[in-house]
């Protein structure tokens, strides 16, 4: 028997259900799930604050870390440690809040030796997205001596990993936060300075004083618009989220007068090549700066309360779920 959190139908409150292996989706790779995590999207799904799941029955959880039990495709061998993120997991394909999962081989990446199962779950979608944001910025010619790089949503998963990865790569990261009481945590993640979110959640001027050489934004809305208007000539902003708003109340001024680049970053459908490159960056960063001070481990069974805490901004760092 296996155990999964299942939404049986649209509108169902969901809950833990015991079921047989035959109830799992018909996909080639069977893995024993050891860890998952709680992302913003997971919290919205578990609390029913937004209709994340679009097919039913559905198991939420966009991150899966596990050990291969069998692979009918021949891509992996039994005992391989693997991670899956994106590709509609928890939305249209059964996700990670379960003891076992059947997945397509192209959704999986074999974990580098230097990343533990726990740390892979801690990274998950958040770490992968942060790594891909930095890759996008570097592809536009971001030099180490470029200057200040602002990171919005800095106490969250993507923000915390962005700070960590920027710092270990030698960049000057500035954490934007609405939680000044978390200054010590943000500095520990690698931030060199802290800036108040309230300064950016204001009406937007087409152009303001230049400050940022680059940025990583998870917020959207006025925050992203104000980051764009304060970005230096030729700077780039990697946008990967909409935690504040899906709107972008900006003008074209930063683009046509300062040559600012707005780079969209999506990790959901990224190729295996891009994912493997991102995981190598994460592995290198963990070797320099272990994740112990940003990982908060809990039992899978605590997921409901943990999701509510995340949406209420009562949590920080990465919440990792495990069966043991």
Q: Do 238 and 145 fall within a single domain?
A: yes
Model confidence at 191, pLDDT cuts 50, 70, 90, reads very high
State pLDDT tens for residues 2-24. Answer: 999 999 999 899 999 999 999 99
**pTM for the full predicted model:** 0.92
**Residue 250 belongs to a domain:** yes
Give the mean pLDDT of 290-309: 94
C-alpha span between 219 and 198 (Å, rounded): 13
Q: Do 78 and 186 fall within a single domain?
A: no
Q: Do 24 and 74 fall within a single domain?
A: yes
225 and 124 Cβ atoms separated by less than 8 Å: no
**Residue 276 belongs to a domain:** no
Q: How many CB atoms lie within 10 A of CB 126?
A: 27
State pLDDT tens for residues 47-58. Answer: 999 999 999 999
Q: Do 47 and 77 fall within a single domain?
A: yes
pLDDT averaged over every residue in the chain: 95
C-alpha span between 234 and 213 (Å, rounded): 8
**Residue 184 belongs to a domain:** yes
Q: What are phi and psi of 103, to 5 degrees?
A: -135, 160
Count structural domains, the chain.
Answer: 2
> Which domain covers residue 162, as residue numbers?
126-264
Q: With 90 as the cut, is the pLDDT of residue 324 above it?
A: no
Q: Do 217 and 143 fall within a single domain?
A: yes
**Residue 312 belongs to a domain:** yes
Q: What is the CATH number of the domain that holds 33?
A: 3.90.180.10
Q: With 90 as the cut, is the pLDDT of residue 293 above it?
A: no
Q: Do 147 and 258 fall within a single domain?
A: yes
Model confidence at 317, pLDDT cuts 50, 70, 90, reads confident
**Residue 200 belongs to a domain:** yes
Element (H, E) at 232: strand 231-239
Q: Do 181 and 234 fall within a single domain?
A: yes
**Residue 77 belongs to a domain:** yes
Q: Which residue has the higher pLDDT, 315 or 255?
A: 255
Model confidence at 40, pLDDT cuts 50, 70, 90, reads confident
Q: Do 235 and 309 fall within a single domain?
A: no
Is the link from the previous residue into 86 a cis peptide, with omega within 30 of 0?
Answer: no
219 and 227 Cβ atoms separated by less than 8 Å: no
Considering the chain, what percentage of its residues have pLDDT values greater than 70? 100
Give the mean pLDDT of 150-163: 94
**Residue 284 belongs to a domain:** no
State pLDDT tens for residues 242-254. Answer: 989 999 999 999 9
Q: Do 31 and 134 fall within a single domain?
A: no
């Amino acid at each position: 028997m296996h155990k999964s959190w299942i939404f049986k139908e649209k509108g169902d409150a969901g809950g833990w259900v015991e079921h047989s292996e035959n109830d799992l989706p018909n996909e080639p790779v069977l893995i024993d799930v050891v860890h998952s995590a709680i992302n913003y999207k997971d919290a919205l799904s578990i609390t029913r604050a937004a209709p994340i799941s679009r097919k039913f029955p559905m198991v939420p959880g966009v991150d899966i870390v596990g050990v291969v039990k069998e692979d009918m495709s021949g891509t992996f061998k039994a005992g391989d440690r693997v991670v899956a993120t994106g590709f509609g997991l928890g939305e249209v394909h059964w996700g990670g809040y379960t003891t076992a999962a059947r997945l397509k081989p192209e959704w999986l990446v074999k974990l580098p030796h230097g990343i533990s199962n726990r740390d892979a779950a801690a990274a998950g979608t958040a770490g992968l997205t942060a790594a891909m944001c930095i890759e996008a910025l570097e592809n536009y010619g971001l030099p180490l001596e470029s200057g200040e790089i602002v990171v919005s949503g800095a106490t969250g998963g993507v923000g915390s990993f962005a700070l960590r990865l920027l710092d270990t790569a030698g960049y000057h990261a500035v954490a934007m936060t609405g939680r000044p009481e978390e200054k010590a945590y943000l500095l520990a993640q690698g931030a060199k300075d802290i800036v108040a979110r309230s300064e950016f959640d204001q009406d937007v001027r087409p152009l303001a004083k230049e400050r940022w050489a680059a940025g990583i934004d998870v917020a959207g809305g006025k925050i992203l618009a104000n980051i764009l208007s304060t970005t230096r000539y030729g700077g780039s902003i990697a946008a990967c989220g909409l935690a504040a708003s899906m709107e972008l109340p900006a003008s074209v001024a930063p683009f046509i007068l300062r040559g600012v680049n707005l780079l969209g970053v999506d990790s959901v459908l990224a190729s295996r090549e891009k994912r493997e490159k991102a995981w190598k960056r994460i592995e290198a960063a963990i070797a320099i700066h272990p994740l112990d001070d940003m990982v908060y481990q809990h039992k899978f069974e605590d997921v409901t309360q943990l999701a509510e805490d995340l949406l209420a901004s009562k949590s920080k760092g990465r919440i990792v779920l495990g069966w043991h």
